[in-house]
Amino acid sequence: MVSCVDDERLEFQDGDLVVFSEVQGMEELNDGKPRKVKNARPFSFTIEEDTGSYGVYSKGGIVTQVKEPKVLRFKSLRDAMKDPGDFLLSDFSKFERSPVIHLAFQALDSFRKEHGRYPTAGCEQDAQSFLKFVADINEASIDSKQEKIDDKLLRHFASGSRAVLNPMAAMFGGIVGQEVVKACSGKFHPLYQFFYFDSVESLPTYQLDPQDLKPSNSRYDAQISVFGSKLQKKLQDANIFIVGSGALGCEFLKNLALMGVSCSSKSKLTITDDDVIEKSNLSRQFLFRDWNIGQAKSTVAAAAARAINPSLQIGALQNRACPDTESVFHDTFWDGLDVVINALDNVNARMYMDMRCLYFQKPLLESGTLGAKCNTQMVIPHLTENYGASRDPPEKQAPMCTVHSFPHNIDHCLTWARSEFEGLLEKTPNEVNSFLSNPTQYSAAMRKAGDAQARELLERVSECLGKERCITFEDCITWARLRFEDYFSNRVKQLTFTFPEDASTSTGTPFWSAPKRFPRPLQFSATDSSHIHLIMSASILRAESFGIAIPDWAKNTSKLADAVNKVAVPEFEPKKGVNIVTDEKATNLSSASVDDVAVIDDLLSKLEECAKNLPPGFQMKPIQFEKVFQHLYASLRFKDLFAFCLCKCCCHSLLFIVHFLRDVANILYSYC
């Protein structure tokens, strides 16, 4: 039996492979050999191994899941058509539909081979001929013969077989794009053999008049052949409100423009976003180009959508949807809307829009992406629950003392790194700028606060403008090298001096028991690529923050190593009586002091002296963490691909809503 600490819930399943490391006492488990998990529980599992001859377990240990390479053997297309095997399901409520659609595609090939065309929408003769092909192919099937055939589904298939619909194209474009990324990267499980997707529930529930399906020599003939000209007219007359013009907003605009939504003189599509285009947006927000940087997102996106479809009746606003702009988005504005589409990136804005849609009784299409996940939700007044009716439980946050002094997993290290990044390169420069903009007001605010947090802020600002102020790029290198020594050597030495490896708690138990891991200080080496690249990144970011020109050799590792080796690093001497917070309930690592007021006054005096040595108009450039790491999304474009699929689901929901706009009781609700 292997038991884990209570705050580390396991996600293992029976059959998973794991390896052990850092186990003390039973060192035989540290051989790197993968072992199979049995009897997996939230905090424990067992392994099939006789450990009777192993040493006696004392403490510690890390268990890591490993993925075993998997070889997939695909059938040839000829063999798979005859015997498709199991299908990958997109909707478990349609368990028996994939085999029927598989037959339908074979029948469509036979129909086209005999008639030289696809079935005509609404043509009964073509539908009967198509059904006969299906029956003949099914009868000839030996291993995959279907006992029950859904004639209604097949009629829908035949009637719409000529059409290329934008939502479906976006859906399968995203899926195919994912498969390309999988093939190129060798990561993630590919689709195995056949995958079929349908959205028959988006079709009208009543029989369409064949005359309503006839083409009108317009760009919307494909949609008309599936949904009818009456629905197309409703789409063109719809009044839509899109909130947000980022990655999802751009995809929505493109899809709606191609579908002909809000393309009549009676309609209006309104999009609003208070943000402007930045270079980091260009990789994911495809309606924007280099020459649009600095322009309003909504205005540029609207112009791009109008270029896709000149008939689009679109208006762009630069207002944030919030209580402060209810004079812009007033009652008359809301009363004229048919559907609201959210393309937002934060929960508070979503909650506000959900509240407004509830108040004005408007359908809402809600969607969002998170890494390799996405979701859509269709909110219909009086029929479905609203977005705010259920909330995800808050993510468990690691205690501050764990993150800063006793990290034991990669998430803690990432949280610490982000916290330090924001403190050094965003929050401190913002504080510096606040002080320099209005020293009197800033000083008064700090004296009024008079607490440990105010003192800590002032200490950071004082260091930034005093002993850690950078004037040349060489100063930035020195700062980065000393930071390395502080983070990865001095702090660890101080921690292990205060709490030696044999330290005990007040109850007599070993201090360094699981989940704590006894740390080891790092010795800097200019030949270690991870060390030198950290110095390189930190130096460049520090230079940008101070507005210092970055020399051409800054990214040359050999020249950078020469400069780093010239930095004088003081010898570390551990201090006695240092208070390191170990209380997991503590929310702040700063400790209150009776001398805070006196220290704050002293720091403010130092700041005033530092300000006299600064050039006129000096300001620092705060650097946001998200902006630095935006480029990482471009390496694996899964987020873009999920946006395609997500927006497709919402567009099908839009067809659903608009079709029954005056009779919402007939709308079916589905989860995507």
Domains of the chain with CATH codes: 2-66 (2.40.30.180), 77-184 (3.40.50.12550), 227-395+641-666 (3.40.50.720), 400-501+521-629 (1.10.10.2660)
- To which H or E segment does residue 606 belong? helix 596-612
Confidence at residue 399, expressed as pLDDT on a 0 to 100 scale:
64
Determine the 3-state secondary structure of 315 from DSSP.
strand
Q: How many CB atoms lie within 10 A of CB 574?
A: 12
CA separation for the pair 158, 466 (Å, rounded): 76
Q: How many CB atoms lie within 10 A of CB 345?
A: 15
Mean pLDDT score across all residues of the chain: 85
Instruction: Give yes or no for a contact between 349 and 322, defined as CB atoms under 8 angstroms apart.
Output: yes
Distance, CA of 251 to chain centre: 16
**What burial class does residue 382 get, using C-beta atoms within 10 Å of its C-beta: 0-12 exposed, 13-18 middle, 19+ buried?**
exposed
User: Considering just the CA atoms, what is the radius of gyration of the chain in Å?
Assistant: 32
Confidence at residue 394, expressed as pLDDT on a 0 to 100 scale:
66
Crossing angle (nearest 10°) for helices 473-485 and 557-565: 70
Determine the 3-state secondary structure of 342 from DSSP.
strand
Is pLDDT above 70 for 477? Answer: yes
Bridge partners, 239 (sequence order): 268
Confidence at residue 634, expressed as pLDDT on a 0 to 100 scale:
40
**What burial class does residue 389 get, using C-beta atoms within 10 Å of its C-beta: 0-12 exposed, 13-18 middle, 19+ buried?**
exposed
CA separation for the pair 411, 526 (Å, rounded): 27
Is pLDDT above 70 for 66? Answer: yes
Lowest mean pLDDT among 380-384, 443-447, 667-671: 667-671
Mean pLDDT for the stretch of residues 536-558: 93
CA separation for the pair 59, 53 (Å, rounded): 18
The candidate with the shortest Cα–Cα distance to 321, out of 286, 288, 387, 275, is 275
Angle at 340 between CA 339 and CA 341, to 5 degrees: 120
- To which H or E segment does residue 243 belong? strand 239-243
Tens of pLDDT, residues 302-330: 999 999 999 999 999 999 999 999 999 99
From residue 238, give the alpha-carbon distance in Å to each of 198, 260, 334, 395, 401. Answer: 25, 10, 13, 39, 54
Confidence at residue 659, expressed as pLDDT on a 0 to 100 scale:
58
Q: 553 falls in which pLDDT band (50, 70, 90)?
A: very high
CA separation for the pair 225, 162 (Å, rounded): 8
Is pLDDT above 70 for 347? Answer: yes
Is pLDDT above 60 for 91? Answer: yes
Q: Which of 50-59, 201-210, 295-304, 627-636 tops mean pLDDT?
A: 295-304
Instruction: Give yes or no for a contact between 238 and 279, defined as CB atoms under 8 angstroms apart.
Output: no
The candidate with the shortest Cα–Cα distance to 653, out of 434, 426, 365, is 365
Q: Which of 401, 464, 650, 672 is catalytic?
A: 401
Question: What's the per-residue H, E or C state across 360-376?
Answer: HCCCEEEEEEECCEEEE
CA separation for the pair 16, 34 (Å, rounded): 9
From residue 162, give the alpha-carbon distance in Å to each of 94, 159, 261, 479, 667. Answer: 23, 8, 21, 66, 26
Q: 288 falls in which pLDDT band (50, 70, 90)?
A: very high
Q: How many CB atoms lie within 10 A of CB 623?
A: 17
Number of residues in the chain: 672
Phi, psi of 372 (to 5 degrees): -95, 30
Is pLDDT above 80 for 548? Answer: yes
Is pLDDT above 50 for 396? Answer: yes
Q: 538 falls in which pLDDT band (50, 70, 90)?
A: very high
CA separation for the pair 273, 298 (Å, rounded): 6
Confidence at residue 89, expressed as pLDDT on a 0 to 100 scale:
85
Mean pLDDT for the stretch of residues 465-494: 93
- Which position has the higher pLDDT, 500 or 406? 500
Confidence at residue 275, expressed as pLDDT on a 0 to 100 scale:
92
Reply yes or no on whether 401 is catalytic: yes
CA separation for the pair 656, 231 (Å, rounded): 10
Q: How many CB atoms lie within 10 A of CB 276?
A: 16
- Which position has the higher pLDDT, 305 or 644? 305
Structure tokens at 502: 């044999």
Structure tokens at 501: 């490896």
CA separation for the pair 119, 223 (Å, rounded): 15
Mean pLDDT for the stretch of residues 594-609: 79
Determine the 3-state secondary structure of 549 from DSSP.
coil
Lowest mean pLDDT among 110-114, 454-458, 542-546, 553-557: 454-458
CA separation for the pair 134, 498 (Å, rounded): 78
Confidence at residue 552, expressed as pLDDT on a 0 to 100 scale:
92
CA separation for the pair 121, 362 (Å, rounded): 33
- To which H or E segment does residue 299 belong? helix 297-308
In 59-135, at which residue ranges do the beta strands (DSSP E only) sit? Answer: 62-66
Instruction: Give yes or no for a contact between 388 and 351, defined as CB atoms under 8 angstroms apart.
Output: yes
Is pLDDT above 60 for 236? Answer: yes
Lowest mean pLDDT among 178-187, 215-224, 581-590, 600-609: 581-590
Confidence at residue 631, expressed as pLDDT on a 0 to 100 scale:
43
The candidate with the shortest Cα–Cα distance to 626, out of 368, 426, 365, 469, is 426
Instruction: Give yes or no for a contact between 452 and 588, defined as CB atoms under 8 angstroms apart.
Output: yes
Is pLDDT above 60 for 332? Answer: yes
Bridge partners, 62 (sequence order): 21
Confidence at residue 609, expressed as pLDDT on a 0 to 100 scale:
86
Lowest mean pLDDT among 64-73, 477-486, 522-531, 554-563: 64-73
Q: How many CB atoms lie within 10 A of CB 662?
A: 7
